[in-house]
Chains A and B, each alone.
Chain A
Amino acid sequence: NAGVTQTPKFQVLKTGQSMTLQCAQDMNHEYMSWYRQDPGMGLRLIHYSVGAGITDQGEVPNGYNVSRSTTEDFPLRLLSAAPSQTSVYFCASRTGGVYEQYFGPGTRLTVT
């Protein structure tokens, strides 16, 4: 099993550009989440999904969109990048009823 994978590892965007961060898992996990990690602020939930076709907002959803067309994939879209979205983004997955989350390796995004 590859576990949770994320691409790209690093990305630099200009303000106003859009892009998609990719996340995939091969563990057949129902639940997938996106977090952002900023210095001194821990991990904050952006969006999550409890299964294909079902998504909902987390703590900091503004400026981000998600979709879940398959169990395996959960992409995060930045519609119009802003410097405030400079962060490290982690995708995570778990099975329903089990609390342990598995994190992907992260994407470091810089918006200039």
Chain B
Amino acid sequence: GENVEQHPSTLSVQEGDSAVIKCTYSDSASNYFPWYKQELGKRPQLIIDIRSNVGEKKDQRIAVTLNKTAKHFSLHITETQPEDSAVYFCAASIRDTGFQKLVFGTGTRLLVSP
């Protein structure tokens, strides 16, 4: 079945540095790629997403890039702040019997040190 691999599993950066999290997917028909942020004890919340007809999308300090040929996409956070510390999940859509499902990566724990 569809598989989404996410790396690294943990990432430690200093405040102000950039952070990059990478995901690869296996289903070439995937067309939607969201990123979720989950703070400790909280629900996952969508922070940015990208469709397959777009190569890059930015929202302030957050950007996502997509390489359909290589089947990978990345989350870029610039000027990191301590409040960016959380677990980040990528996901890729798959279509199964007409229903768009999301397959999630295993998560990246980001720690931003002051």
Contacts and interface: CB of A to CB of B under 8 A. Distances in A.
Interface string A72-112: 00000000000000000010000000011101111000000
Contact of B101 (A40, A58, A104, A106): A58
A41 B89 CA distance: 10
Given A31-B99, A43-B44, A99-B49, 7 more contacts: A42-B4, A42-B107, A43-B91, A45-B102, A56-B99, A99-B100, A106-B43
B99 A90 contact: no
Given A99-B32, A99-B100, A100-B34, A42 B43 contact: no
A101 B43 contact: no
Interface in A17-61: 31, 40-45, 48, 50, 56, 58-59
B43 A100 contact: no
